[in-house]
Chain A
């Protein structure tokens, strides 16, 4: 019953996001400067009748509410509109590029988590100040470098560009994961297990990981958002034809229909990931705080 309720809440939340996002997209596009102006209308050679014919041929000239309602209806039919810059359907552009971003994000999330676990787990089993200081130093250093600069540095030295994603996700995951795991390791039942002489590996697997798992799962949901953020910089700098690069090109070309629809879809994807993580962990995420 609880799972059904959570699922219903998730669907409602996604629908509200789509509705609000669609409204904001339509409103911003409709109110943007130059909306509905055809380049041909600026041609002084055309007479009044030709200009009127051009204006009549443009359905976008409708009022604010009519445009917004039509946009919302089209959105819920799966029609994401036409890109002004590429003169192509937005859905087609997204379809061409989402795989590149998905692959980059998978590398980033898996790599970032692997690095974080490499630094966190040994210090739980065999606590070492040197190892902790090394981990804190590496993650602190990476936190202080903008992901775009990191991508640029690795690109200049012809390093593995995809590794930037992992390096961008790692420090953020590490900070939370270390806190969650350390908190779980300090619980009285873990101390009792240590006193009883249970092996460190067994303590980790049976006494620490299960306690930290719900929050770690919630963190996994949040790392999708982190990876999306890093993907923009990596795709732009390293020339990966993904959604981040598409958003950047749309921003430079002021292609608002594409950019805002893309932002809304990324938000939906992030919300979905967060909600799934919450459902799997069985509790609302507190990591985002």
Chain B
């Protein structure tokens, strides 16, 4: 493991712990309003100041980080599992199943991602509770993000299906679930891990884009998207926005560093 990757792991781990204990670190809940201090600047009490409603920006930033760092990997796990099922079956079975799956994947990939998200978000209720909205947003990302990983996994499984080691395993009497669990899955693991890590920054960025367009996580729950949305009304570039942008850049850069080098090519 290179030094940069170790630093990336350490940074993400520290940030995750800080985000888990955001209330204690910031000294207030992300939703608590300090009514005497609306739009306060940076101070020892409020390191990043407060927003127009008097909420501590540091608490909100850490809570938004917690949401992204918890739910983006969860969504990535779900979409990778769906992609494994669809791509794996298509690659392993071949024939009609492969053709149908390939068509579906092609169709999903030709749909511009943001259009699909907006349409899917509009079909779901808009007047949902904040907690439901955050789960809905990431569930949507997971449900719609399977196509690209499925294509890669299908290609990987198809290559392996005709490989010598699988032929030998079959000749030795290894079939069905045992063949998949003992031979196919371990060899497919690097591809699955690469797809998982690739999906996380994609989902974080998509959630931020949706939040910036007002279709993501609902207030008072914070997300990186709706924190950055403050730029629309506050053009002064307050420390909260700068910190949010910097933190998002740092987290996404760390995830990119953690990607297996083969997936970048």
Q: CB within 8 Å of B: which residues of A?
A: 16-17, 20, 28, 32, 140-141, 143-149, 152-153, 156, 175, 179, 225, 228-229, 232-233, 236-237, 247-248, 250-252, 254, 256, 259-260, 262-263, 266-267, 270-271, 274, 288-289
User: Could you jot down 17 A-B contacts, CB within 8 Å?
Assistant: A140-B256, A146-B212, A149-B212, A149-B228, A225-B111, A229-B113, A233-B209, A233-B212, A247-B118, A252-B122, A252-B214, A259-B118, A263-B115, A270-B111, A274-B110, A288-B148, A289-B155
Q: A259-B122, A267-B111 are in contact. Are A251 and B231 (CB under 8 A)?
A: no
With a cutoff of 8 Å between Cβ atoms, the chain A residues found around residue B121 in the complex are 251
Binds A, one of B22-30, B177-185, B247-255: B247-255
Are A144 and B248 touching (Cβ within 8 A)? Answer: yes
Q: CB within 8 Å of A: which residues of B?
A: 103, 106-107, 109-116, 118-119, 121-123, 126, 148, 151-152, 155, 201, 205, 208-209, 212-215, 225, 228, 231-232, 235, 237, 245, 248-249, 252-253, 256, 264-265
A20 closest partner in B (C-beta): B107
With a cutoff of 8 Å between Cβ atoms, the chain A residues found around residue B228 in the complex are 146, 148-149, 152
Bound-state Cα–Cα, A266 to B252, Å: 29
A265 closest partner in B (C-beta): B115
Bound-state Cα–Cα, A229 to B116, Å: 10
With a cutoff of 8 Å between Cβ atoms, the chain B residues found around residue A148 in the complex are 208-209, 212-213, 225, 228
With a cutoff of 8 Å between Cβ atoms, the chain B residues found around residue A251 in the complex are 118-119, 121-122, 215
Bound-state Cα–Cα, A107 to B111, Å: 21
Pick the most buried of B122, B123, B201, B249: most chain A CB atoms within 10 A of its CB: B122
Are A232 and B118 touching (Cβ within 8 A)? Answer: yes
Q: A233-B114, A262-B115, A266-B115 are in contact. Are A144 and B256 (CB under 8 A)?
A: yes
Bound-state Cα–Cα, A259 to B120, Å: 10
Bound-state Cα–Cα, A179 to B118, Å: 32
Are B209 and A179 touching (Cβ within 8 A)? Answer: no
With a cutoff of 8 Å between Cβ atoms, the chain B residues found around residue A250 in the complex are 122
Give min CB distance, B150 to chain A, whole Å: 10
The majority secondary structure among interface residues of chain B is helix
With a cutoff of 8 Å between Cβ atoms, the chain B residues found around residue A140 in the complex are 253, 256
Q: A32-B123, A140-B253, A250-B122 are in contact. Are A147 and B111 (CB under 8 A)?
A: no
11 A-B pairs besides A225-B110, A248-B118, A252-B122 with CB distance below 8 A are A20-B107, A144-B248, A146-B228, A148-B208, A153-B231, A156-B235, A232-B118, A248-B213, A270-B111, A288-B148, A289-B155
Bound-state Cα–Cα, A143 to B109, Å: 19
Are B114 and A232 touching (Cβ within 8 A)? Answer: yes
B201 closest partner in A (C-beta): A144
Give min CB distance, A140 to chain B, whole Å: 6
Are A263 and B208 touching (Cβ within 8 A)? Answer: no
Lowest 3 CB-CB distances: which A-B pairs, in order? Answer: A148-B212, A144-B252, A251-B122
Q: A141-B249, A289-B151 are in contact. Are A266 and B209 (CB under 8 A)?
A: no
Q: A144-B253, A153-B231 are in contact. Are A232 and B123 (CB under 8 A)?
A: no
Are B113 and A146 touching (Cβ within 8 A)? Answer: no
A147 closest partner in B (C-beta): B209
Are B249 and A145 touching (Cβ within 8 A)? Answer: yes
Give min CB distance, A289 to chain B, whole Å: 5
With a cutoff of 8 Å between Cβ atoms, the chain A residues found around residue B215 in the complex are 248, 251-252
Bound-state Cα–Cα, A145 to B228, Å: 11
Bound-state Cα–Cα, A141 to B228, Å: 17
Bound-state Cα–Cα, A144 to B247, Å: 11
With a cutoff of 8 Å between Cβ atoms, the chain B residues found around residue A147 in the complex are 209
Give min CB distance, B118 to chain A, whole Å: 5
Give min CB distance, B239 to chain A, whole Å: 16
A253 closest partner in B (C-beta): B122
Give min CB distance, A159 to chain B, whole Å: 13
Give min CB distance, A108 to chain B, whole Å: 12
With a cutoff of 8 Å between Cβ atoms, the chain A residues found around residue B231 in the complex are 149, 152-153, 156
Bound-state Cα–Cα, A143 to B209, Å: 13
Give min CB distance, A229 to chain B, whole Å: 5
